[in-house]
């Protein structure tokens, strides 16, 4: 990849294939319960979904970790399950238990008609952030990948093995395909709107890639993500797209080529050097520090960071975790992480 003028933002430079001596850093779920200021704003909003749909408060929680730590990127504060809700499915969060939806078995009760009206407040959050973020901070928009989102829509909740969705796909392929098709179309509209509102990078979260293999992985994880990326490019959206097929049991070189992503997120189990050999020199990698090591901190954290930095070795890489930061993380460990990455020994 080459360009005549290099972007001013470090994360965007790396996404054009340039390596940086000090890699850009952001953390998945960097706005969240480990921060006291997040808990206070969520309280003020009334609940998690109220927070997502309040542009002013969602903007505030997105900015909180950037203010505190000076991350190179900021991810829109929202959730991958807002799309099913926008399509007409009931969604609520049980305190301490995670998401709940009224389970569905086909797309009959869903409608695309109101999706962008429902999600307009989220795009307003993006528009506000594109004005209020520091000029060196990249704004990342996101959506869930269709298989992962559908697994919640069919089960009505998170499941360890996505059995309800796998079962529906096996019993009634056409019905499951109709849900996936609906998600592909809605996700293209949604990500296009985020990009037009100011999102500079888009990330697709495929949290449950590990439950499918072979033809099923191709059909439900690869094809829908490829269709979303193609659909966005056909509409002239050229923002770099990071795919994050967490713990996928597939050849990553083939995955990247098939979906057409610009960056690949790595979970904690990935071996950075081995994935780099599979994907080639140009693919941008992101990840994969274990969030539990960030909880423990100390010498173990220092060794893990040094190990990742050694493996990055002059390749285009975005420093991140291998999954979202957990609520038990001491905020001081995040400061230490950033100081170690940026070589600020005084911290």
Cα→Cα distances 175→35, 103, 182, 208, 213, Å: 42, 14, 11, 20, 20
Asked whether the beta carbons of 212 and 245 are under 8 A apart, the reply is no
- Active-site annotation holder among 152, 189, 246, 267: 152
| Count of residues interacting with ligand CP3 (CB under 6 A) | 21
246 flagged as catalytic: no
Phi-psi region of 260 (alpha: psi -120 to 50; beta: other; left: phi over 0): left
283 binds ligand CP3 (CB under 6 A): no
172 flagged as catalytic: no
The DSSP call for residue 8 is S
Break the chain down into helix, strand, coil percent, rounded to 5. Answer: 50, 10, 35
- To ligand CP3, the closest distance from the beta carbon of 162 in angstroms equals 11
176 binds ligand CP3 (CB under 6 A): no
Cβ-based neighbours of 21, under 8 Å, separated by 6 or more = none
33 binds ligand CP3 (CB under 6 A): yes
Between 53 and 77, CB nearer to ligand CP3: 77
205 binds ligand CP3 (CB under 6 A): yes
Q: Which of 14, 15, 25, 28 binds ligand CP3 (CB under 6 A)?
A: 28
Cβ-based neighbours of 13, under 8 Å, separated by 6 or more = 6, 7, 20
152 flagged as catalytic: yes
25 binds ligand CP3 (CB under 6 A): no
33 flagged as catalytic: yes
Q: Which of 81, 129, 180, 182 binds ligand CP3 (CB under 6 A)?
A: 81
Residue span binding ligand CP3 (CB under 6 A) among the ranges 31-39, 112-120, 260-268, 281-289: 31-39
Q: Which of 31, 82, 241, 279 binds ligand CP3 (CB under 6 A)?
A: 31
Between 142 and 220, CB nearer to ligand CP3: 142
Peptide bond into 288 cis (omega under 30): yes
Nearest CA among 282, 289, 298, 294 for reference residue 323: 289
34 binds ligand CP3 (CB under 6 A): no
- How many residues does the structure list for the chain? 347
Which residue sits closest to ligand CP3, CB atoms considered? 207
235 flagged as catalytic: no
- Active-site annotation holder among 13, 34, 53, 79: 79
Between 99 and 316, CB nearer to ligand CP3: 99
Cβ-based neighbours of 55, under 8 Å, separated by 6 or more = 121, 122, 124, 125, 128
Asked whether the beta carbons of 149 and 183 are under 8 A apart, the reply is yes
Q: Which of 17, 19, 48, 185 binds ligand CP3 (CB under 6 A)?
A: 48
Which three-class secondary structure state does DSSP give residue 183? helix
Mind telling me the catalytic residues? 29, 33, 42, 79, 152
Binding residues for ligand CP3, per CB under 6 A?
A: 28-33, 42, 48, 75, 77-81, 98-99, 142, 158, 205, 207, 324
């Amino acid at each position: 990849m080459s360009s005549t003028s290099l972007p001013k933002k470090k994360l965007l430079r790396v996404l054009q294939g340039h390596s940086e001596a000090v890699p850009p850093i952001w953390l998945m779920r960097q706005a969240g319960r480990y921060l006291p200021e997040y808990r206070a704003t969520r309280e003020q909003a009334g609940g998690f979904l109220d927070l997502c749909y309040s542009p002013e408060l969602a903007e505030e929680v997105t900015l909180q970790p950037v203010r505190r730590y000076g991350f190179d990127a900021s991810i829109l504060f929202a959730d991958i399950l807002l799309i099913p809700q926008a399509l007409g499915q009931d969604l609520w969060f049980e305190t301490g238990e995670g998401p709940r939806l009224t389970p569905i078995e086909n797309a009959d009760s869903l409608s695309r008609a109101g999706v962008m009206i429902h999600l307009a407040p989220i795009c307003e959050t993006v528009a506000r952030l594109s004005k209020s973020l520091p000029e060196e901070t990249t704004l990342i928009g996101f959506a869930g990948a269709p298989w992962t989102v559908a697994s919640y829509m069919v089960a009505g909740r998170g499941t360890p093995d996505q059995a309800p969705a796998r079962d529906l796909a096996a019993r009634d392929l056409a019905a499951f395909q109709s849900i996936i098709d609906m998600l592909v179309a809605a996700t293209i509209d949604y990500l296009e709107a985020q990009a037009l509102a100011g999102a500079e990078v888009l990330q697709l979260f495929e949290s449950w890639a590990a439950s499918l293999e072979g033809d099923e992985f191709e059909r439900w994880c690869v094809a829908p993500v490829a269709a979303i990326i193609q659909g966005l490019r056909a509409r002239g959206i050229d923002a770099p797209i990071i795919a994050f097929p967490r713990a996928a049991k597939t050849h990553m070189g083939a995955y990247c080529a098939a979906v057409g992503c610009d960056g690949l997120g790595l979970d904690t189990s990935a071996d950075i050097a081995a994935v780099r050999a599979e994907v080639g020199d140009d693919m941008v990698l992101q990840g994969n520090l274990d969030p539990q090591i960030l909880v423990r901190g100390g010498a173990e954290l220092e060794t893990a960071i040094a190990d990742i930095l050694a493996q990055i070795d002059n390749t285009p890489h975005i420093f991140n975790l291998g999954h979202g930061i957990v609520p038990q993380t001491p905020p001081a460990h995040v400061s230490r992480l950033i100081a170690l990455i940026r070589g600020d020994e005084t911290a």
